Amino acid sequence: MKNLLYILLIISSANCTAQQLSDYKYVYVPKDFKEFENNQYHLNSTLVSKLKEKGYQVLQEVQGNWPEELKQNPCKVAKINILKSGNIFTNKLTFEATDCNGKAFLSQEGKSSEKDYEIGYQQALQKSMVNLQKSSPIKEISEVKVDLANENSSSKIANLDKKSNEKTNKKESAIIEDKTKKPYSDIISPAKNQNYFNNNTKYQKKPIGSGQFILISPDTSTPFATFRESSKKDVYHIILRDGTTTLGYLENENLVIELPNKDGSFRKEIFVEK
């Protein structure tokens, strides 16, 4: 009879209890929060964007429409909620994460004294998530059977390594291919461009579609910032080059971007039109 050895490989965790949000791969964000309905102040869309930036796979469908794996084991999913906790003088909210038993294991507050509700709550949300860690799911034990009496046992293990290397090579090839694509400035709209300056660096404002434009330096092929109109006139949702989301607005014909600091505060960067 052949002797069998079981090699335990660490792959992903379903049976372990996650202790922090970064332990999870999947998070559920409802389409409507009880205290911020209909994506009020764009909190829902901003939250989803920030979580994706951190590597989380975001679910917004009801549990009955989740993938079969998650319906069978909903404890693989953390549920996210945004709670209003301020008053008439302060825009304040709480970022909360709960496990499958409804137990809150993370609660972080953010607040802003900005009087404009949309800007203030956006700032509060950013501050509540400033210490949010990237998704790094905990691991589960699964078995891979290896027949020691079989000459091909070692090749089976080698094939696992080979598949892993193939995935890595594909990713590297995709990165190399992406670098050969045309510069962003070659595919934008031919509409009129405007020049802005910040600390003696020149940027061009270039439309890329309805209600959207970018700020890009003529010396680079990657936009410094991408602007999208908000529900309020002259206020924009912004995605920076590194993927950070923030707000911007027009002030005396100049563009102002609120750049986040490491401590959760914001500083104004002014781009002067010339």
Is 178 contained in some domain?
no
Number of domains in the chain: 2
- Name the band, by pLDDT with cuts 50, 70 and 90, for residue 93: very high
Better pLDDT: 217 or 7 = 217
Amino acid at 24: Y
Ramachandran sector of residue 11 (left: φ over 0; alpha: ψ -120 to 50; beta: rest): alpha
Is 154 contained in some domain?
no
Last residue of one domain, picked from the residues 97, 113, 128: 128
Residue 101: give its domain's CATH number: 3.40.50
How many helices (H) and strands (E) the chain has is answered by: 4, 15
Same domain, yes or no: 110 and 211: no
* pLDDT tens for each residue of 31-69: 989 889 888 888 999 999 999 999 999 999 988 899 999
The number of CA neighbours under 13 Å toward the Cβ of 46 is 29
pLDDT at 236: 92
Do the beta carbons of residue 217 and residue 203 sit within 8 Å?
yes
Assess whether pLDDT exceeds 80 at residue 9.
no
Whole-number Å distance between alpha carbons of 259 and 272: 16
Last residue of one domain, picked from the residues 128, 146, 176: 128
Is 87 contained in some domain?
yes
| 3-state secondary structure at position 21 | helix
Assess whether pLDDT exceeds 90 at residue 94.
yes
Q: Look at the block and give the residue holding tokens 């309905």.
A: 37
The candidate with the shortest Cα–Cα distance to 183, out of 208, 218, 225, is 218
Same domain, yes or no: 25 and 111: yes
- Name the band, by pLDDT with cuts 50, 70 and 90, for residue 113: confident
Is 135 contained in some domain?
no
Whole-number Å distance between alpha carbons of 79 and 93: 17
| 3-state secondary structure at position 165 | helix
Whole-number Å distance between alpha carbons of 62 and 85: 26
Q: Which DSSP state fits 150?
A: S
pLDDT at 24: 93
pLDDT at 198: 92
Last residue of one domain, picked from the residues 86, 104, 128: 128
Is 143 contained in some domain?
no
pLDDT at 153: 46
- Name the band, by pLDDT with cuts 50, 70 and 90, for residue 249: very high
pLDDT at 170: 55
* pLDDT tens for each residue of 138-173: 665 333 344 434 445 445 545 555 555 555 555 545
Same domain, yes or no: 195 and 114: no
- Name the band, by pLDDT with cuts 50, 70 and 90, for residue 219: confident
Q: What is the DSSP string of 24-56?
A: -SEEE--SSBTTB-TTGGGHHHHHHHHHHHTT-
Is 254 contained in some domain?
yes
Is 110 contained in some domain?
yes
Token digits for 269? Answer: 């960067």
* pLDDT tens for each residue of 11-34: 334 444 456 899 999 999 999 898
Do the beta carbons of residue 13 and residue 139 sit within 8 Å?
yes
Do the beta carbons of residue 89 and residue 74 sit within 8 Å?
no
Do the beta carbons of residue 150 and residue 2 sit within 8 Å?
yes
pLDDT at 163: 54
Same domain, yes or no: 122 and 34: yes
Q: Give the domain extent around 82.
A: 9-128
Is 103 contained in some domain?
yes
